[in-house]
Structure 1
Amino acid sequence: MSQTIGEGRLRFDLVTLDLFLSVAEEGSIAAAAMRRHIAPSAVSRRLAELEAAMDTPLLQRHARGIALTLAGEALQRHARSVFAVLGRMRDEMGEHAQGVRGHVRIAANTSSLAEFLPEELALFMARWPGVRVEMQELLSPEIVRAVRDGLADVGIMAESVPAEGLESLFYREDRLQAVVPLGHPLAGREALHYAETLDFPQVGLARESSIQKMLAGTAAQAGRPIDLQVHVNSFDVLRRLVQVGIGLAVLPEACIRPFAEAMGLRGVPLRDAWARRRLKLCVRDRATLPAPARLFVQQATRLEA
């Protein structure tokens, strides 16, 4: 099968494009030739043919190696995109041939792990049994760094968390409530504003968590301090602290409802606009995700494959 792409004057082969990328990455024809196990003269000939086909210089040659021209930098970007598309095509054909294999790395905040991800993962792993899932529970700023640095394929966090340079998609919506013991003065309320809870001791999540940052900002706007007794990293521990009367807490509704009756707790809806939160899913570049991660994103965001 021919390994050429393009038409007319701009027709060139994939081997030459791949060699061009190797030279660009190595900064030297000799180093690229050694990496690809080919004679330097053969690499030079291929590059000359490529420049002739493009009708423009792609490389600046100097004593220490080569540098890309502006045209060369543009071709490098496009060539990478070509091979990324071909890689996705290969992955998708492999999915049809023998089922998906590999793994997906997910970094998620506590809310999404407690509320939505267990069922999400059960569906995903039942559909794609050949895929392993690596899950990390991180604070939202850590999630952004993990995805940006390539340590996670997918991040899930509150929509309010800045994630510059990443692609963001809507994931789910949750509702925050104040959780109190049944005998608490606020337990009989149908709903309330967060500022009304500031008269009482509280227990909270880590200061860097998106929920705790929101509460701190709201208290500051009200000109009131939070009488915070304890910081913890777990919703489970937070519920227990509320149960024994150390203080009230603010948690997603789905993290209160299943435990309320057994633990003698009540969730009181918050009237604040920010209490209805949107969670987002973030990736570096959806177009270049490995096949397992792409399939998870499609399922989680209900996108068509």
Structure 2
Amino acid sequence: MRLDIADLRLFLCVVEAGSITQGAARAHLALASASERLRSIEADAGVALLQRRPRGVVPTQAGEALAHHARLILRQQALLRGELQGFAAGAQGTVQLYGNTAALAHFLPHKLAPWLAERPRLHVALKERTSARIITAISAGLAEAGIVSDAVQAPGLQLQPVAKDHLALIAPAGHWLAQQGTVRLADVLGEPFVGLAPGNALQDHIDEHARAAGRALALRIRMKTFEGLCEMVAHGIGLGIVPQRVAGRYRRRYGYRVLALQDDWARRQLCLCFGDWHALSSPMQSLLRHLGAVPGSDTSNQG
């Protein structure tokens, strides 16, 4: 077979998305170009790799075999790239690290700075995604590692807790909820909310659980920053959901009330997430060790 890395990456994107259209978008290809590539891949293989259905595609048995080997090849490519980029762990090149909103906003800055300062020739590309999307990317071999919430299942991957990341609900001081200590999201879905900007990974996570609880959040306004959200809540615009550390940071300034969310998905820990430690590039191993990873510890999530 004459498959190149781009073909393997496209095929995995389509398999993980369950859709040629969405897979093409993830691979940054036009639909027509992606469809033509997939036809060429199947023609070269001499066997059907995808079963087309009215609402998407699923891999055939041959497609599952190709997806399995594609993941291995892409992981080996990442390992090779890391080795060539710097024999001294993390000495040069670029490390791509995925993280959810809380990881990028609060956990990583003070942790990452001293590690990066010691490696002047190294670049780090941080990519914000929801925890579920990060796990999907790692499982598909499209990412080496990330920082996710333990509220999401990660079968077959390593999850190593490194920090607490509980979420809290904040309410205006005069709100009827202000005298309560705890609340469930389902009990306040009829209230107006202040949210974060579209595409924010944390807001996507909250929106998903709101829909699962019965209805979408009624968002009056979306803010780009946590502080902007907190200020809107303090002025009575609506309720908000933010990490507990954020709620505590701005509470004195804006005078809102903080309520613990009783929902299991809101009582989270931030975890380093990765697959086979030995398949990681040297720079990534160095970074994960610095962030608290323990190589060889049995923390695989069989969820």
Same fold (TM over 0.5): yes
Q: Does 1:187 align with 2:178?
A: yes
2:88 to 64, 84, 95: 95
Deviation at 1:234, TM superposition (A): 4.7
Note if contact 1:161-1:210 (Cα within 8 Å) is conserved in structure 2: no
SS in 2 for 1:184: coil
Give the 3 Å change call, closer, same or farther, for CA 184–196 of structure 1 in structure 2: same
Which residue in the other structure is 2:114 paired with? 123
- Give secondary structure in 1 for the equivalent of 2:269: strand
Q: Of residues 246, 251, 254 in structure 2, which corresponds to 1:260?
A: 251
CA displacement at 1:245 relative to structure 2? 2.2
Residue segments in structure 1 that go unaligned for 5+ positions in a row: 1-23, 27-75
Conserved 8 A contact 1:103-1:293: no
Matches within 5 A, 1:236-247: 236-247=227-238
Normalised by the length of structure 2, the TM-score is 0.59
2:272 aligned partner: 281
Count of residue correspondences: 229
**Post-superposition offset of 1:25:** 8.1
Return closer, same or farther for 1:245/1:282 CA change in 2, 3 Å cut-off: same
| Contact 1:110/1:235 (<8 A) preserved | no
Query: Aligned partners of 1:254 and 1:147: how far apart in 2?
Result: 28
Measured against aligned partners, the alpha-carbon deviations of 1:251-286 in whole angstroms (never above 9, x if no partner) come to 110122112222333322223333311233323542
Decide whether aligned partners of structure 1 residues 210 and 90 sit closer, same or farther in structure 2, where only a CA change above 3 A counts.
closer
Equivalent residue in structure 2 for 1:209, among 204, 211, 231: 204
Q: Counterparts of 1:41-60 in structure 2 under 5 Å?
A: none
Matched with 1:109 is 100
- The separation in 1 between residues aligned to 2:125 and 2:238, in whole angstroms, is 34
1:72-101, CA deviations, whole angstroms, 9 ceiling, x for partnerless residues? Answer: xxxx9xxx9xx99x979978x9428xx732
- Name the CA distance, whole Å, in 2 between partners of 1:106 and 1:197: 35
User: Structure 2 CA distance, aligned partners of 1:90 and 1:200?
Assistant: 53
| Counterpart contact for 1:158–1:210, Cα < 8 Å | no
- Find the residue that maps to 2:148 and give its secondary structure: strand
Contact 1:157 1:280 in 2 (8 A): yes
Shift in Å, 1:238: 2.8
Shift, 1:247, TM fit: 0.7
Matched with 1:70 is none
Aligned equivalent of 2:134: 143
Deviation at 1:112, TM superposition (A): 1.4
Shift of 1:226: 4.5
The AA in structure 2 aligned to 1:117 is L
Give distance in 2, aligned partners of 1:110 and 1:144.
15
Look up the SS of the partner of 1:160 in the other structure.
coil
TM-score, scaled relative to structure 1? 0.58
Residue 198 of structure 1, CA deviation: 3.6
What is the RMSD computed on CA atoms of the aligned residues?
4.3
| Partner Cα distance (1:296, 1:102) in 2 | 13
- Give, as a single letter, the amino acid of the residue that structure 2 aligns with 1:265: Y
Structure 2 partner of 1:296 = 287
Residue deviations 1:18-42 (CA, integer Å, cap 9, x gap): xxxxxx989xxxxxxxxxxxxxxxx
Contact 2:83/2:281 (<8 A) preserved: no
Which residue pairs with 1:155 in the alignment? Answer: 146
Cα pair 1:100 1:291 within 8 Å, conserved: no
Structure 1 residue 239 displacement after superposition: 2.5
What's the secondary structure of 2:289's corresponding residue?
helix
Distance in 2, Cα, partners of 1:109 & 1:274: 14
Q: Computing the radius of gyration over CA atoms, which structure comes out larger, 1 or 2? A: 1
Distance 1:272 1:162 in 2: 16
5+ residue gaps, structure 2, are: 4-68, 297-303
Structure 1 161/209 Cα, relative in aligned 2: closer, same or farther at 3 Å?
Answer: farther
How far 1:294 sits from its partner (Å)?
0.9
